[in-house]
Structure 1
Amino acid sequence: MSKEYVSKTNGAYRLMGTRVSLDSVVYAWHNGLSPESIVDEFPVLTLEQVHGALAFYLAHQDEIDEYLRLSEAEYEVLRQKHIEQLRATKPQLYEKLMAHKQRRAEPAINLKSD
């Protein structure tokens, strides 16, 4: 008898009985977390659920990878749309945010002399 660990509801894959997305578990695993570490990151999950989710992912890898790719593309479109809306409606806030982003991207200057 096989047990179900993942369901697709409203176009999103979730671990059964939780609000945790399959995306979260797969990304954590791709970023090098072990199943035990994923449980630590998502205390609502059991080790069995994480292994079940990863088994589901591996059994449907092409389908899930395509779903993740489309989700990332959709997110980027929405992010760009939001940035353009912010630029048009609140240009001062937009400029502040861009300046902050630029400062964070610049490497820190080491003033310590040897």
Structure 2
Amino acid sequence: MPDVVSKSYVEYRNDAYWIEGTRISLDSVVYAFQKGVSPESIVQSFPLLTLEQVYGAIAFYLANRAQIDAYLAAEEAAFDVMPQPLQTAAPALYDKLMAAKAARQ
């Protein structure tokens, strides 16, 4: 029987998780997966990814769910405390974006 080589689909670089060899964040795939988007539809949204990469990223997330959920929560908290230039430059757009974010949660 030939040797089977395991693959890595997610890498940690620049203080974030990324689909290995791409500039697509794991966050993007995880948020879509959490919304119930199928892996095939995720590939359509991110045509640079293969179906194998999407399934690999989802498997990575499921195997490390507690750590990745904590990472995502920390990223969201850090974003929430960042000053938002849009808030002063375009308050109507900022309010619309914040309402969309609240609806998502």
Aligned mate of 2:19, from 7, 15, 20: 15
Runs of 5+ consecutive residues of structure 2 not aligned to the other structure: 100-105
Distance change (3 Å), C-alpha of 1:100 and 1:29:
closer
Structural RMSD (CA): 2.4
Paired residues in the alignment total 93
Corresponding residue for residue 62 of structure 2: 58
Q: How does 1:23-102 map to 2 (within 5 A)?
A: 23-78=27-82, 81-82=83-84, 86=88, 93=89, 97-98=91-92, 101=95
CA–CA distance in 2 between the matches of 1:77 and 1:40? 33
Secondary structure of 1:76's counterpart equals helix
Runs of 5+ consecutive residues of structure 1 not aligned to the other structure: 87-92, 106-114
Secondary structure of 2:84's counterpart equals helix
Q: TM-score, normalised by structure 2?
A: 0.78
Q: CA deviation at 1:98?
A: 4.1
The percent identity for this pair of structures is 53
Give the ranges of 4+ consecutive aligned residues of structure 1 lying more than 3 Å apart after TM superposition. 98-102
Q: CA deviation at 1:2?
A: 1.5
Q: TM-score, normalised by structure 1?
A: 0.72
Larger radius of gyration: 1
